[in-house]
Chains A and B, each alone.
Chain A
Amino acid sequence: MKLIKTSTAGTMESNDIMITLEPREEGGISIDLTSNVMQQFGRQIENVIRETLTKNGVENAAVIAVDKGALDCTICARCCTAIFRAAESDAYEWEVKQNVR
């Protein structure tokens, strides 16, 4: 996934996370995370962000994340929104929920 512009997704409201994604040519992924539950969940939040970027083929990007107590599904959703906005694409491959098939 080729990122072509800086994007943001999410809000600063409780239970949400604001993700800013800046394209980079190289240097891998850097994550600057602020969270009011940093001590307990900081590593988990970073993992979700990193996994979502990797899964969507983003190899180089600078992420600024301000977390307000978001669940993993919210972090994933906001990351995906930021990625596809930065790539100016809507070709997301929606996956089927387990047990639905």
Chain B
Amino acid sequence: MYVKDRLRRSMMFVPGNNPGMIRDAHIYGADSIMFDLEDSVAYSEKDSARFLVYNALKTLHFGTKETVVRINDLGSGLGIKDLEAVVRAGVQVVRLPKTDSAQDVIDCEREIERIEREAGIPVGSTGMMAAIESANGVLNAAEIAKASKRLIGVALGAEDYVTDLKTTRSDGIELLFARSMILNAARAAGIAALDTVYSDVNNEEGFVAEATLIKKLGFDGKSVINPRQIEPLHKVFMPAEKDLAKARAIMEAIAEANARGSGVASLKGKMIDKPVVTRAKRLLDLYEAGSKISEVEDD
């Protein structure tokens, strides 16, 4: 069973045909582990990867990590076979690649529901996320994000997207429109916004700059392709001590005002507006969730 709203700072891609990487995937601290049956698997090994991910999901324990499988697209003929395996194996979230329209989400959901019914799994147990990887998909992002109650988030797949735009990845300006569209679509639908991978694993400075940018924009997290990217990414998302102190002071002022029976709270002579409280609470929740996950990993 999936959880709609949870911490998803990092979603680590794990090649679906690599037993060693699958075995060790949970030890690196990513919030979500994303087993890949699509681009990282050669066409001749699609069957092999499907069997491997299916057996791993059924028998291995991944602790507090969210399990996600990126299936092949339904149009390839492989996606349905992937769903038959991973839904029965109890994956929490199916990542649908190359989502161009709301209909793609609806078609995938219909297949998931059919499999859940056939297998006797409670309908609605399997979550979904949609990866948007084309100009069409970006323009349809708002409808895509609202196409199913199962959607936990929408993600940007930048490599295919920039190819569709007839450009290449550079300093990020080429992705600004897509990121803004996807982020707004996610927020309007009340789901997570997840950023694309940063492919140059040896360039930590560039990775941190990109992570900082997407956090500023408002994204919940980012896909990673190497365990080395997890810690710097989580550091970017960790609230700064001065922000935490301010958020705690805001929440204390609110609590004091409530205790007095007053509807108006102030801090250092300034009235505290509702959006300020919302942001403070979100910051403290993020800090608490991050700390809790660290504690579980330390145990």
A, B in one complex:
yes
Q: Which residues of A contact B (CB under 8 A)?
A: 9-10, 13-16, 70-74, 76-78, 80-81, 84-85, 90, 92, 94-97, 99-101
Measured between C-beta atoms, what is the minimum distance from A65 to chain B in Å? 14
Interface residues as binary, B257-286 with A (CB distance below 8 Å gives 1, 0 otherwise): 000000000000000000000000000000
User: Which secondary structure dominates chain B's binding surface?
Assistant: helix
Contact A97/B57 with A13-B20, A14-B20, A85-B47 known, Cβ cut-off 8 Å: yes
Q: Does B119 contact A (CB under 8 A)?
A: yes
Q: What's the Cα separation between A95 and B86 when bound, in Å?
A: 10
The answer on a CB contact under 8 Å between B90 and A77 is no
- 12 more contacts with CB within 8 A, not counting A92-B85, A94-B84, A96-B90, are A9-B48, A10-B48, A14-B20, A73-B52, A73-B58, A74-B23, A78-B52, A81-B51, A97-B57, A97-B58, A97-B89, A100-B125
Measured CB to CB, the closest approach of chain A to B115, in angstroms, equals 9
B90 touches A97 (CB 8 A): yes
The proximity string for B residues 52-69 relative to A, scoring 1 for CB distances below 8 Å and 0 otherwise, is 101111111000000000
Q: If A96-B88, A97-B89, A100-B121 touch, does A15 touch B20 (CB 8 Å cutoff)?
A: yes
Complex CA distance for A74 and B21, rounded to whole angstroms: 12
On chain B, the residues within 8 Å of A73 by CB distance are 52, 55-56, 58-60
Q: How many A-B pairs with Cβ below 8 Å?
A: 77
| A14 / chain B contacts, CB cutoff of 8 Å | 20
Best-buried of A76, A84, A85 by chain B (most CB within 10 Å): A76
Give the docked Cα–Cα distance between A58 and B20 (Å).
28
Interface centre among B18, B51, B60, B85, by most chain A C-beta atoms within 10 angstroms, is B51
B75 contacts partner chain A, Cβ-Cβ < 8 Å: no
B-side contacts of A15, CB under 8 Å:
19-20, 23
Measured CA separation A100–B56 after assembly (Å): 15
- Return 20 A-B CB contacts under 8 Å, by A number: A10-B48, A13-B19, A14-B20, A73-B55, A73-B56, A74-B23, A74-B52, A77-B52, A77-B54, A77-B55, A85-B47, A94-B85, A96-B120, A96-B121, A97-B57, A97-B58, A97-B88, A99-B90, A100-B88, A100-B90
Residues of B near any A CB (own CB < 8 A): 18-20, 23, 47-48, 51-52, 54-60, 81, 84-85, 88-90, 119-122, 125
Shortest distance from the beta carbon of B120 to any chain A beta carbon, whole Å: 5
Q: Once the chains bind, are A78 and B48 in contact (CB under 8 Å)?
A: yes
Give Cα A99 to B170, complex, Å.
46
A76 to B48: give the CA distance in the assembly, Å.
11
Give Cα A14–Cα B119 distance, bound, in whole angstroms: 34
Of all chain A residues, the one with the shortest Cβ separation from B51 is A77
Do the beta carbons of B51 and A80 come within 8 Å of each other?
yes
**A69 and chain B: residue at smallest CB distance:** B20
- Bound CA–CA A71/B54 (angstroms): 14
- In the complex, chain B residues whose CB is within 8 Å of the CB of A78: 48, 51-52
| Residue on B nearest A94 in the bound complex, by CB | B88
Rounded to whole angstroms, the CA-CA distance of A87 and B183 in the bound complex is 47
Closest 10 CB pairs of A and B: A15-B20, A97-B90, A73-B55, A100-B90, A77-B51, A77-B55, A77-B52, A74-B19, A73-B59, A94-B88
